[in-house]
Amino acid sequence: SLLLFLVVFILTLDYIKNRRPVSFPPGPWALPIVGNIFTVDHSRTHESMTQLSERYGDVYSLRMGQKWMVVLNRFEVLKEALVTQGDGFADRPDLPLVDDVAHGQGVAFSNGNVWKQHRRFALSTLKYFGFGKKSLEPVILGEFAHCAKYICNNKGRPFNPHLIVNNAVSNIICSLVFGHRFDYGDEKFMKLMKWFDKALRIQGSLWAQLYNSFPLMMRCLPGPHQTFLQILKDLKDFTREELKKHKQNWDPSDLRDYIDCYLNEIQTNEGKADSSFDEENLIMSVLDLFAAGSETTATTLRWAFLYMAKYPEIQAKVQAEIDCVIGQSKQPSTEDRPSLPYTDAVIHEVQRISNIVPLSLPHVTTRDIQLGGYTIPKGVTIIPNLTSVLFDKNEWETPYTFNPGHFLNEEGKFVKRAAFIPFSAGKRVCLGENLARMELFLFFTSFNAALHLLHACRGEACNRISFWHYTGTAAI
Ligand code: HEM
């Protein structure tokens, strides 16, 4: 009877503590203790969450363990929340797995003053290296040359593009942050790539969800979450080593990369009471740029390969446009983009349909909010469901079909679409958007432009489909 009393006591306590707040968005019935953890299919979370919106509306709630969250669906709702009421949705929630690594530092998972200062600094530094005097354009084109060499060395044999694309894109972040690239065979670099790959997998797993819902218990248990914490510690140590080297020959009159610029920022803000620029924040910012900027861009490029393999007639049109506008005598440049409307539309459509950050990153309400007729109290986790926008049949003519026509008007000119939000929107919109768009454009056009070279390397008759076929099918 003591056991029965205990069970009834725990269930009553759980009911009182976790009751759905008054005027809160509706949602599925939540089990005691675990809430809706098992309502959502974690192998296809974004689809599962989009399906729930058909039943419970564009603004609905779920309880994950002891925490309430609100899922936002469709363009108008996301715009109202992230843009119109942007201040009220600007913060990140406590995510124990991330917090145990980031400790509120860096840019992607910080809040308040630390976030504001680091976001402003990151944006201006990315602008400086992205498009100013120290533009990354030649770095990206140079990196492509290494890819092309690697592909040629395969002498026409099929190969998996996963590694080469990930290496190339990560090397852009290395050049930006550390001021140098790595050879693809470099042991340190290969270890770095493996660590990131593994950490990202664990971060997206049910283990991470359990850790975030029951941190006290999970901290004591073995499992992949412990591997995640160890990897992040190793990555921080790796970055610390690079920082040490930078400090040895740092010259404020010649800022070579992100770390140099950050060291300059530390010095400029020395003695200011509200400055959050220090070495621990620097290390976390560097990891943020790697985590947010490598896998995202590389995955999009791999989807591009896959779609070009699946739709050879579209690839042929892209290549014909590039051949006609750029030709064989020069390398592509971002300045060519306005003259390549079809290619631009294909890249946008790849981003829309591949939907690689389907639930964006979580936000949290910074005050009590009125949205869609409901009240969301301060401190509730918000999930912006980008899938519900990128696949909305009211926004796209053929949402589930690869159709570059979504971004072209009747005269074949490129048209922007408001519902194209793979980078999210508002105060926390992806801060690497411009760099990512530049990388996607330059890598994608370079691959297409170089097809002649690649086929020549293979020593075979020009068969433009086969390259995409090899790489595209391997990309699956
Ligand atoms: C945040 C998408 C590439 C750096 C985000 C978010 C999305 C996103 C959806 C969350 C926004 C939100 O919370 O509302 C993408 C996609 C990319 C890409 C689709 C490539 C195709 C990059 C690159 C970088 C980068 C290349 C940096 C070099 C960041 C950072 C944040 C972020 C630092 C956190 C911003 C903040 O919290 O203020 N990205 N991203 N991303 N992204 Fe990207």
| Nearest protein CA to atom 34 of ligand 1, as residue | 108
Position 131 scores a pLDDT of 67
Question: What would you report as the CA-atom Rg of the chain, rounded to the nearest whole angstrom?
Answer: 24
Position 468 scores a pLDDT of 47
Name the band, by pLDDT with cuts 50, 70 and 90, for residue 473: very low
The per-residue pLDDT for range 420-452, each reduced to its tens digit, is 999 999 999 999 999 999 999 999 999 887 776
The per-residue pLDDT for range 212-224, each reduced to its tens digit, is 888 999 999 999 9
Distance in Å, CA 336 to ligand 1 centroid: 25
Q: Which two tokens stand for residue 14?
A: 């759980």
The per-residue pLDDT for range 22-72, each reduced to its tens digit, is 899 999 988 887 888 888 887 788 999 999 999 999 999 999 888 899 999
Question: What is the C-alpha separation between 106 and 109, in angstroms, rounded?
Answer: 7
Question: What is the C-alpha separation between 278 and 287, in angstroms, rounded?
Answer: 15
Distance in Å, CA 249 to ligand 1 centroid: 31
Q: Does residue 453 carry a pLDDT above 70?
A: no
Index of the ligand 1 atom closest to the CA of residue 422: 19
Question: What is the C-alpha separation between 65 and 292, in angstroms, rounded?
Answer: 27
Q: Does residue 459 carry a pLDDT above 80?
A: no
Distance in Å, CA 458 to ligand 1 centroid: 37
Query: How many Cβ atoms are within 10 Å of 255's Cβ, its own excluded?
Result: 19
Q: Which two tokens stand for residue 80?
A: 């109202």
Position 466 scores a pLDDT of 45
Rounded mean pLDDT of 257-261?
Answer: 95
Q: Is the ipTM of this complex over 0.95?
A: yes
Lowest mean pLDDT among 10-14, 26-30, 211-215, 259-263: 10-14
Index of the ligand 1 atom closest to the CA of residue 176: 28
Rounded mean pLDDT of 333-351?
Answer: 97
Lowest mean pLDDT among 338-342, 398-402, 462-466: 462-466
Length of the chain in residues, anyone? 476
**Residue 149, helix vs strand vs coil:** helix
Rounded mean pLDDT of 102-128?
Answer: 95
pTM: 0.92
Position 457 scores a pLDDT of 47
The per-residue pLDDT for range 75-91, each reduced to its tens digit, is 999 999 999 999 999 99
Index of the ligand 1 atom closest to the CA of residue 110: 37
Position 133 scores a pLDDT of 65
Index of the ligand 1 atom closest to the CA of residue 122: 33
Residue in this structure with the two tokens 């086969």, named with its chain if needed = 466
Query: How many Cβ atoms are within 10 Å of 119's Cβ, its own excluded?
Result: 17
**3-state DSSP percent of the chain in helix, strand and coil, to 5:** 60, 5, 35
Rounded mean pLDDT of 96-124?
Answer: 95
Rounded mean pLDDT of 166-170?
Answer: 93
- What percentage of the chain exceeds 90 in pLDDT? 69
Q: Does residue 471 carry a pLDDT above 60?
A: no
Q: Which two tokens stand for residue 117?
A: 């200062």
Q: Which range has the top average pLDDT, 140-144, 200-204, 387-391?
A: 387-391
| Nearest protein CA to atom 2 of ligand 1, as residue | 423
- Of residues 277 and 466, more confidence is placed in 277
Question: What is the C-alpha separation between 283 and 279, in angstroms, rounded?
Answer: 6
Distance in Å, CA 133 to ligand 1 centroid: 24
Position 330 scores a pLDDT of 84
- Of residues 156 and 300, more confidence is placed in 300
Question: What is the C-alpha separation between 53 and 56, in angstroms, rounded?
Answer: 5
Q: Give the largest CA-CA distance in the chain.
A: 85
Q: What is the 3-state secondary structure (H, E, C) of 337-400?
A: HHHCHHHHHHHHHHHHHHCCCCCCCCEECCCCEEECCEEECCCCEEEECCHHHHCCCCCCCCCC
Q: Does residue 20 carry a pLDDT above 50?
A: yes
Average pLDDT value over all residues in the chain: 89
Angle between helix 224-248 and helix 279-293 axes, rounded to 10 deg: 120
Lowest mean pLDDT among 66-70, 409-413, 462-466: 462-466
Q: Are 317 and 342 in contact (CB under 8 A)?
A: yes
| Nearest protein CA to atom 39 of ligand 1, as residue | 430
Name the band, by pLDDT with cuts 50, 70 and 90, for residue 21: confident
Exposure string for 202-223, b = 16+ CB within 10 A, e = fewer: bbebebbbbbbbbbeebeeeee
Q: Does residue 74 carry a pLDDT above 80?
A: yes
First-to-last C-alpha distance (Å) of the chain:
56
Q: Are 376 and 69 in contact (CB under 8 A)?
A: no
Position 13 scores a pLDDT of 76
Pocket of ligand 1 (CB under 6 A): 107-108, 119, 288-289, 292-293, 296-297, 300, 356-357, 360-361, 384, 422-424, 428-432, 435-436
Q: Which two tokens stand for residue 8?
A: 């009834």
Q: What is the dihedral of CA 60, 76, 212, 170, to 10 degrees?
A: 150
Q: Which two tokens stand for residue 103?
A: 């400790």
> Angle CA(228)–CA(219)–CA(11) in degrees, nearest 5?
130
Name the band, by pLDDT with cuts 50, 70 and 90, for residue 465: very low
Q: Does residue 456 carry a pLDDT above 60?
A: no
Residue in this structure with the two tokens 């069970």, named with its chain if needed = 7
Q: Does residue 462 carry a pLDDT above 50?
A: no
Q: Does residue 350 carry a pLDDT above 90?
A: yes
Question: What is the C-alpha separation between 125 and 288, in angstroms, rounded?
Answer: 14
Position 1 scores a pLDDT of 79
Position 334 scores a pLDDT of 93
Angular region, 179: left φ>0, alpha ψ -120 to 50, beta rest? left
Rounded mean pLDDT of 251-278?
Answer: 94
Rounded mean pLDDT of 198-202?
Answer: 87
